[in-house]
Amino acid sequence: MSCSKLYLFWNIGKKAYENELLYDNVFQKYADYYSYYYGNSKLYTRENIHFMKRFYLNFPIFTFNLNSITWEQYQILLLIPNKKERVFYFSLSLFFHSDLYHTKELIANHYYYRI
């Protein structure tokens, strides 16, 4: 996935976070708008807009390795509730140049708890 698409997702997450309290049903409205605008209704679902918000909150834009892993890997990492554990697996994914399968394997083997 291109770096510009990750920045787009980050910015959508930022807008969703900023407007969440101001408007009703903001996630569905953004999902409808971006699905229409970009023509990919599968990528811009309500659930993915929630992931984009979490992406914005958990991965700062100035992270120089933002595009080193894929959006699918970010989604898997965002499912981890513990921030230290999430950062640990993010760092491992960067270090090993992991793909989605390898990142899932790292998490499934609980390497965080072995240290």
Q: Tell whether the model's pLDDT for residue 40 goes beyond 70.
A: yes
CA 47 to chain centre: 11
3-state secondary structure 73-93: HHHHHHCCCCHHHHHHHHHHH
CA distance 87 to 24: 32
User: Rounded mean pLDDT of 65-80?
Assistant: 88
Q: Tell whether the model's pLDDT for residue 1 goes beyond 80.
A: no
Q: What is the pLDDT of residue 51?
A: 92
Q: Tell whether the model's pLDDT for residue 62 goes beyond 70.
A: no
User: Rounded mean pLDDT of 7-25?
Assistant: 88
Average pLDDT of the chain to the nearest whole number: 87
